[in-house]
Amino acid sequence: MVTAARVIGCGAAVGFLTGFLGVGGGFLAVPALVLVMRLPMTTAVGTSLLVLAINAAAALGSRAGLATLDWPVVLPFAAAAVVGTVLGKSVSDRLSGPTLTRAFAVLLAAVGVLVAVESLL
């Protein structure tokens, strides 16, 4: 059963780890939503994207006027990310929820191994 305390606790833990580790919230939010909150993978992905958008808007707003942006990097990077998102969505539409969950778990484990190896070297 999803309670307000569970939602707030899970969100606070993900937020703390995101801030502490400096990693994208999606990598932490999706597993938390699936494992702790028991949401289906497709619902967890959509929820995580909305939370990420709200978080990003708040972060950008708090830094507006303070940060210098390298527009020749920002614009092509953002454009490529949008194209990648559309392509990724079209692939994910062809896969079942359990297949997406397994693929995400493999990706998460691979990233964890790479980060561990890099930090040890």
Can you point out the beta strands (E) in the chain? none
Q: What is the pLDDT of residues 36-57, one digit of tens each?
A: 999 998 898 889 889 888 888 8
CA distance 16 to 22: 10
Range of the domain at 56: 4-120
Q: What is the mean pLDDT of residues 18-42?
A: 81
Q: Based on the structure, what is the number of domains in the chain?
A: 1
The DSSP secondary-structure symbol of 37 reads S
Q: Quote the pTM value.
A: 0.70
Nearest of 57, 113, 79, 23 to residue 32 by alpha carbon: 23
